[in-house]
Chains A and B, each alone.
Chain A
Amino acid sequence: MAEPDDGGALIELVGLEKVFEVRRRVGRLRRARESVRAVDGISFTVERGEMVGYIGPNGAGKSTTIKMLTGILTPSGGRLRVAGLDPARERTRLARRIGVVFGQRTTLWWDLPLRDSYGLVRRMYRVEEARFRRNLGRCVELLDLGALLDVPVRQLSLGQRMRGDIAAALLHDPDVLYLDEPTIGLDVISKAKVRGFLRDLNAERGTTVLLTTHDLTDIEQLCRRVMVIDHGQLMYDGPLSGLHEIGESERTLVVDLERELPPIEVEGARTVRVEGPRQWLAFPAAASAAPLVARVAEGYPLVDLSLREPDIEDVIARMYALGATGGEGVG
């Protein structure tokens, strides 16, 4: 990881904290006050042009961090700078520098053509006409929105709407784009389109992207760097491959045989489940599946097979079990 040089990093967090006071009922009338440390001393820096995956189980503190980065929430402690600004104090100034896409909640105008939502963005952000046309033209081309501009948003599919939302967040040329679950609920083709677009955006415009996701494929295809947060703390900060190594995560080969057979015994994998002619073989995520498939096909009557990637929850759970704390660059 690069050394953070003063003022160079686009996003800089030092010991960021967010403590919520929660009132909980105990007994009939009594209420106890309790402090919940949603974000418990997180430090990291993100350089201009980076594309970072921010992952963790639900309730880990992901969205609380994003809310502080975008200026929605005021931190309880620590230091935070985004694009040289203090997000909580300079929220509206920061808003001009960032784009935010909330995965499941659209900010587009339901009953109006997509085009109208973009018109509002232009006026609200005071984007010059020429720059607006250029940005919209690029988004329309790359996100394949041309045929959709005059369609009321309520008639768009989920994938079309997500592409529309991403375009809306980029018309004012933000330095940073925050995406909250940008591919959730999308079909395979829409997912591929969204990922391709984000990759191009990052490569061509140098837009810094920070995304939260439950889909490891998003991270694999987009992010060189991944941060894992749980219980309000940064558990890992480094490349995805490192996460697999630490978590010793496994992929699963699902094999359909011609008939019911005793558990398959091959080198480099162990059979974890047998259900009729179908068997599940676990093998290290870092290993290649090809030799394993060859070995199985050699010794068994193979009908069909499929491969399952480890999901993030599993990787993190295993990381815990191993007591791993932190990767490179985490204090």
Chain B
Amino acid sequence: MVEGIRIYGLIAAMWVRSLMAYRLSFALTTLGSAAGSFLDYVAILIMFAHVEALGGFSVAEVALLYATTSVSLGLAELLLGNLSGLGRRIRDGTLDALLVRPAPLFAQVAADRFQLRRIGRIGQGLGVLVWAVTRLDLDWTVGRVLLLVTTVVAGAAIFCGIYTAGGAFQFVAQDAAEVQSSFTYGGNTLLQYPPTIFARELVRGVTFVVPLAFVNWLPTLRLLGRDDPLGLPGWVDFMSPVVAAVVCGIGALLWRAAVRSYRSTGS
């Protein structure tokens, strides 16, 4: 684990240095990344130009949902988003070059083509988070602050677990990165809006099947003092870290199984 983090750091630093060979391009793509995710937010603002509330949620409340999922996804994308390039490495055979190095494969693949520009999404999300926090009429007790921080971190961990599972899946189907995107980017778009505007079946699906609801919906609803549409017991709102641990655990198991299978079949 420690060695994995060390290797990740080494490789990510090399990519950052490679990137700095093209400084202007880096500045532009970082801006582009922030602008791209900001457009989602503009869509929400435009909606609120016509309505007072969305599914019973005020603009500041939706902004809080938007910000928490953006920062969580942004962190996970920065750390593990590069796993989506795994399929290409398997296809062209360059994965083998990573397997003959004295370093954990996961750390090497996760840091492969590390894209610092992804801090754009995180920065933009943090900006909206600050705005939402100042606009919301909430008493920011220690408990609430702690819950907010835990929500963002656990949300990032849930997305990390999904990225890992998606990476494992690419050993089976090399162009499966799209499937993973539907859960990460697709999930992110879903979570930007209040659960009350979606069909109950969908909300149930992202609570119990792919537990995206734990990224921000359930803990943020608690933060805002609202009940969840499924009427789950109150303690469930605090379960995000546990759910994150389970999702990451499943991701890790899938990854190990996939690597083992790759090394016995070769493709």
Interface set of A (CB-CB < 8 Å, partner B): 20-21, 64, 67, 70-74, 76, 88, 91-93, 95-96, 98, 100, 102, 105, 107, 109-112, 116, 120, 123-125, 152
Contacts and interface: CB of A to CB of B under 8 A. Distances in A.
Contact of A70 (B93, B100, B104, B260): B100
B99 A71 contact: yes
Given A105-B92, A123-B10, 7 more contacts: A67-B96, A67-B266, A71-B99, A72-B100, A74-B264, A93-B102, A96-B102
Given A109-B18, A111-B21, A123-B10, A71 B103 contact: no
Given A96-B102, A124-B102, A107 B97 contact: yes
Contacts of A95: 100-103
Nearest to B108: A124
Contacts of A111: 18, 21-22
Nearest to A22: B265
A91 B99 contact: yes
A93 B92 CA distance: 26
Contact of B99 (A64, A72, A120): A72
A278 B21 CA distance: 54
Given A67-B96, A96-B102, A116-B14, A72 B263 contact: yes
B182 interface: no
B7 interface: yes
Contacts of A98: 100
B264 A73 contact: yes
B97 A92 contact: no
B10 A120 contact: yes
Contact of B263 (A88, A100, A107, A152): A88
Given A20-B266, A74-B264, A92-B103, A152 B21 contact: yes
A109 B14 contact: yes
B196 interface: no
Given A120-B10, A152-B21, A74 B263 contact: yes
B23 interface: no
Contacts, number: 66
B7 A105 contact: no
Interface in B120-150: none
Nearest to B101: A95
A4 to B, nearest CB: 25
27 contacts: A20-B266, A21-B265, A64-B266, A67-B96, A71-B100, A73-B266, A74-B263, A88-B263, A92-B101, A92-B102, A93-B102, A95-B100, A95-B102, A95-B103, A96-B102, A100-B97, A102-B96, A105-B92, A105-B97, A109-B14, A109-B18, A110-B18, A111-B21, A111-B22, A112-B18, A116-B14, A120-B14
Given A71-B99, A72-B99, A72-B100, A116 B17 contact: yes
B131 to A, nearest CB: 37
A65 to B, nearest CB: 12
Interface centre among B99, B100, B101 (most CB of A within 10 A): B100
A125 B102 contact: yes
Interface string B223-267: 000000000000000000000000000000000000010011110
Contacts of B10: 120, 123-124
Contacts of A124: 7, 10, 101-103
A91 B99 CA distance: 8
Contacts of B7: 124
A96 B100 CA distance: 9
Contacts of A125: 102
A123 B10 CA distance: 8
Contacts of A93: 102
A289 B100 CA distance: 45
A29 B264 CA distance: 26
B9 to A, nearest CB: 10
Closest 10 CB pairs of A and B: A95-B102, A111-B18, A72-B99, A100-B100, A111-B21, A92-B102, A96-B102, A74-B264, A70-B100, A107-B97
B17 A72 contact: no
